[in-house]
Amino acid sequence: MKATQRDYAQAAQKAGKALRICFFCGADEAGASAAAKKVIATLDEPGERVELSGQDLKSDPSRLLDEARSTSLFGDSRHIYARVSGEDAHEAIKTYCELADLGDAAGAWPIFIVATSATDKSRSAKLLIKRADALVAIFYPPDLRSVTADVRAMADAAGMRLNGNLAERIAHAAGLDVRLAQSEVDKLALYLDASPQSPKQANPDDFDMIGASTEEDGFMPLVNAALGGEVRKLPGELRRMREVSLNPVAVTLALERRAAQLARLSANLRPGDDMQQFLKSQGVFFREHREIGDQLQRWSGGKLERLVPRLTQLHRSLLANSQTAELILSQELAQIARYAAARR
């Protein structure tokens, strides 16, 4: 079956224990990852997590089903979590479907696949969409309004009431990443000692005390310097990244989200459109009009098609090389900035 970011939870709940494999895809990698986490949390006994990469499945397609049929060392329950790019999992999914149809997947542990750079039109997704034991959920790039609504829901669940535009501020500070927004809400609830049993009112001053990511000291100045070709500004932003200990993977996530946003906007932009009016009609935050408008002129068409998978590969490289992640990210950002600058 197929679902979107709005109804995947209901679809998963409706399928119940018949659901054996979930495929989360689309441009919003953060939303897809958060959704996988949410569905896993609904399992009666999630048990041990077995993590697989796209390379694991690409080199050994039978491993997905083998791991799903294996028992843990202590005989406990388990679930399989695979993070892949594009069609890396296609052959593994195909093998799973063929053997499942023969009855060889009976009693297998649930499988959750987060596929960056894949869509519901991909070959992998098409193998699963019509299956009763599978769910394909597509996640589109979030906008400020939807993430603000998510933040309010997070706050309600944590026992907090948010004053004024604080929910919007948290959403913007997190770069529209629902995982980072959840982290900020959790920290704010802890700071206020809030809970559903003891609700608290949260004010902007409270967020100032705990907020780690803001427009001034967060990811976006670094993202904008790279994608905007600001080669002279980039060294200072890289220095700031080290000084305030920005997480390289989190910075890359912000880059991926901006690239996905640019791809969506570029697809809708028509020759002769007034840029300011266009951005406003697309729901782009007004303070980002200048940066995004400039980046749209630098990254369009085939340039974006090459940038998105490159960022996905960067993400994987950082996860695999945590000790040198900062250096790898700095080198890649410098190359991106030089390429963007050449388009002036």
User: How confident is the model over 179-209, as pLDDT tens digits?
Assistant: 778 888 988 999 899 999 999 999 988 887 7
What CATH number is given to the structural domain containing 25? 3.40.50.300
Average of per-residue pLDDT values in the chain: 87
**217: confidence class by pLDDT, cuts 50, 70, 90:** very low
pLDDT of residue 167: 92
3-state SS, residue 200: strand
Contacts of 182 (CB under 8 A, 6+ apart): 34, 154
Edge-to-edge strand list for the sheet holding 134-138: 2-4, 134-138, 21-25, 111-116, 78-85, 48-53
Q: Which of 157, 180, 210 is the last residue of a domain?
A: 210
Residue 105: inside a domain: yes
The residue with greater pLDDT, 264 or 136, is 136
Q: What is the pTM of this model?
A: 0.56
pLDDT of residue 343: 59
The residue with greater pLDDT, 282 or 124, is 124
Judge if 149 and 94 occupy the same domain.
no
- Residue 73 pLDDT greater than 70, yes or no: no
pLDDT of residue 124: 95
What integer is the mean pLDDT of 83-87?
89
Residue 215: inside a domain: no
Tokens of 111: 């499988």
Q: How far is CA 260 from CA 40, 115, 255, 306, in A?
A: 26, 14, 9, 12
Domain that holds residue 195: 144-210
- Select from 149, 186, 190 the least CA-distant residue to 168: 149
**342: confidence class by pLDDT, cuts 50, 70, 90:** confident
pLDDT of residue 344: 52
pLDDT of residue 238: 93
Contacts of 11 (CB under 8 A, 6+ apart): 1, 3, 135, 137
What CATH number is given to the structural domain containing 195? 1.10.8
Tokens of 168: 């919007």
Read off the amino acid at residue 88. Answer: D
Residues pairing with 201 in the sheet:
161
Judge if 192 and 252 occupy the same domain.
no
Read off the amino acid at residue 127. Answer: L
| DSSP secondary structure code for residue 187 in this structure | H
| CA angle at 97 for the pair 91 and 101, rounded to the nearest 5° | 150
Give the residue carrying structure tokens 């697989």: 52
Residue 176: inside a domain: yes
Radius of gyration from C-alpha coordinates of the chain: 21
Contacts of 111 (CB under 8 A, 6+ apart): 20, 21, 22, 64, 68, 79, 80, 82, 96
- Residue 223 pLDDT greater than 90, yes or no: yes
Report the C-alpha gap between 211 and 170 in whole angstroms.
8
Tokens of 11: 């679809």
What total of structural domains would you count in the chain? 3
Read off the amino acid at residue 64. Answer: L
Contacts of 229 (CB under 8 A, 6+ apart): 298, 337, 338, 339, 340, 341, 342, 343, 344
Read off the amino acid at residue 116. Answer: T
Contacts of 174 (CB under 8 A, 6+ apart): 147, 180, 181, 183, 184, 213
Q: How far is CA 51 from CA 82, 222, 239, 290, in A?
A: 6, 31, 34, 41
pLDDT of residue 222: 92
Instruction: Give strand ranges (E) for 117-248.
Output: 134-138, 160-162, 200-202
Report the C-alpha gap between 299 and 302 in whole angstroms.
8
Burial of 191 (0-12, 13-18, 19+ CB in 10 A): middle
Q: Which of 116, 138, 160 is the last residue of a domain?
A: 138
Residue 165: inside a domain: yes
Residue 192: inside a domain: yes
Tokens of 78: 């388990």
Rounded to a whole number, what is the distance in angstroms from the first to the last CA of the chain?
46
What CATH number is given to the structural domain containing 308? 1.20.272.10
* Cβ atoms of residues 81 and 115 within 8 Å: no
**216: confidence class by pLDDT, cuts 50, 70, 90:** very low
pLDDT of residue 25: 93
Tokens of 35: 């959704």
Q: Which of 181, 210, 239 is the last residue of a domain?
A: 210
